[in-house]
Amino acid sequence: MLERYSWTKARELFRKAKVALIPVGSTEQHGPHLPLGTDFMTAEALAESSAEETGVICTPIIPVGISPAHLQFWGTLSISSDAFRAYMKDLALSVAMHGIKRLIFVNGHGGNGAALQEICRELRFQGTYAVVWQWWLDPEVLNVFEKLFTSRGSHAGAGETSMIWLINEELVDKRALEEAARGASEVFGIVKHGAQLPYDTADFSQSGATLDPREASREAGEVIFSTAKTELVKLIRWLAAAPDKELQLKAHMP
């Protein structure tokens, strides 16, 4: 949303707001039935809608993230973890330069999560408090998944498919849902004797999806989106109201 304003209008917004949202996702395969931009489209939609309700700053979407595990699928784009961390940290610091030092990374792609958590730790040492929020991991959203779906596959499953169905139904190729389900994996990733193996999605999923996206619907997307947005708005309001003392680094132990 920030990109829609002049610098003078932005000045007004920055002087009023206490929190900024930085939506980030990926451009990567999401099965034969969903667009490559699924992750950034969901993050952008949730961030923009929540920013409109709360009056906080929302930066432009960052559409490419850390996606090397999907590169065998055509169209996937990926950048290195080092490049991603440097870019996202610089972006956060530029927002802080305008006076907002309470940030929420609205992340739509699991592969970005670890790097974003590292950035949040570094930013706190530099006087900026940042958190990572990922809609599909929110406990209330997980409860909704339990109620709505028998199959709760995370990547290109019923949940993500329902979200895109709501955001832009034309981008869901319903004719490809059967193909997606037929070639889907039961889980995302490979675990052997408690170890998470270094994997590519092509190692375990023929279609690039997990579990059964055929359970998806626009109605399910409405429930998921509403629940996720409610939780993000709560997080924004908590962060805006939190005392500085609660967010600052604690003093060295005696």
Residue 35 falls inside a structural domain: yes
Say if 253 falls within a structural domain: no
Q: Is residue 252 part of a domain?
A: no
pLDDT in the model for residue 1: 86
Q: What is the pLDDT of residue 152?
A: 67
Q: Determine phi and psi for 104, rounding to 5 degrees.
A: -125, 120
- What pLDDT does residue 151 have? 79
46 inside domain: yes
Contacts of 153 (CB under 8 A, 6+ apart): 159, 184, 185, 186, 188, 209, 210, 211, 212, 213
Say if CB 50 and CB 233 are below 8 A apart.
yes
Share of the chain above pLDDT 90, in %: 87
Domain of residue 226, residue span: 2-247
Give one DSSP letter per residue of 72-127, joined into a string. TSTT-----HHHHHHHHHHHHHHHHHTT--EEEEEE--GGGHHHHHHHHHHHHHTT
CB-based contact 36:76 (threshold 8 Å): yes
Output b/e per residue, 153-164; b: 16+ Cβ within 10 A.
Answer: bbbbbbbbbbbb
Position 187 scores a pLDDT of: 75
254, part of any domain: no
For residue 227, what pLDDT is reported? 98
Tell me how far CA of residue 26 lies from CA of 10, 66, 237, in angstroms: 26, 7, 27
Residue 47 to residue 42: CA distance in whole angstroms = 9
- pLDDT value, residue 199: 83
| Residue 199 CB neighbour total at 10 angstroms | 14
244 CB neighbour count, 10 Å cutoff: 9
Give the count of domains, the chain.
1
Residue 218 in domain: yes
Residue 230 domain-assigned (yes or no): yes
Take residue 163 and report the two structure tokens written for it.
């979200």
- pLDDT of the residue at 73: 97
Would you call 234 helix, strand, or coil by DSSP? Answer: helix
CATH number, domain with residue 175? 3.40.50.10310
DSSP 30: B
What's 38's DSSP letter? H
- Under 8 Å between Cβ of 43 and 107: yes
Decide if 195 is inside a domain.
Answer: yes
Residues in the chain predicted with pLDDT less than 70, given as ranges, are: 152-153
